[in-house]
Amino acid sequence: MIVIVCPGQGSQKPGFLSPWLESADARAKLAELSDAAGLDLAKHGTESDAETIKDTAVAQPLIVAAGVLALDALEQAEVVSRSGGIAGHSVGEITAAAGAGVLSHHDAMAFVSERATAMAEAAAAVPTGMSAVLGGDPLDVVSAAERLGLQAANYNGGGQIVVAGELPALARLADEPPAKARVMPLKVAGAFHTRYMRPAQEFLAARADAFEAADPKLRLWTNNDGSVVDNGERFRDLLVAQVASPVRWDLCMEAFVAAGVTGVIEVAPAGALIGLARRGLKGVPTLAVNTPDDIESAVEMINAA
């Protein structure tokens, strides 16, 4: 069983959309997605520098748009429909919702644009950030973070937990890391998936009904607890809740194993989730779909499954 996964914020790089836009169909599709998001995604995906695309209000729509382009290509190659399911990490859950048919492409882009703006505004209220804690005992890591007023924001599996909160506390954690762990600051604008994002969560909750949700046409896992969600409206509500609650990617990977995963395909901008899979799903083949040239390899993987 092949699982398709969709990455979250921080996976984007300058110029990463250029290979996709060699196709006239992809350029036309991206123009539609740009209109829905209210951003020039072609420019941001080909010309904008790293600092520009790090901006939450740009990064999140750009990542979802890239994933939608890749999923379109995989669907045309009959990879998506033959897969065993789909999941996304953080904002990648919106990509997954589009791939599973829960949200239309237009609504996925409109939703992520509102999410990104609301989260950027929440992040601007208090100087906060996030750090990856690599290694150490998970209970010790969470305990050490909480003693400093930090929260575990991403349980990524494979020995990685991302903690978030105010910058002085993150600096102290880096100076005094938990036993057998090291702390790596992340280049993000705020403490996503924590209490600091509650204003954004409340804003999206008030807007959720504007986005029509259909039941998924593919098996769809949630970051909430790694379970499969078969009701579109519930998944949309979980998209709202996850803005201020932890990402449980560790539980998603455990669910993949329980479902009999035999391969993982990550859509553009791919790399981060494959890295986690190599540590958390040891021995399971992985494939990054970062350019249209990778589609053939995805077909070969699905044919061999």
Residue range 34-57, pLDDT digits in tens: 999 999 999 999 999 999 999 999
How buried is 49 (Cβ within 10 angstroms: 0-12 exposed, 13-18 middle, 19+ buried)? exposed
State the pTM of this model.
0.96
Residue 212: pLDDT over 90:
yes
Max Cα–Cα distance, the chain, nearest Å? 54
Look at the alpha carbons of 154, 56, 166, 132 in this order and tell me if their dihedral is positive or negative: positive
Please identify every residue annotated as catalytic: 90, 193
Residue 158: pLDDT over 90:
no
Domains and CATH numbers, the chain: 2-124+194-304 (3.40.366.10), 125-185 (3.30.70.250)
Is 254 in a helix, a strand, or coil?
helix
Residue 11: pLDDT over 90:
no
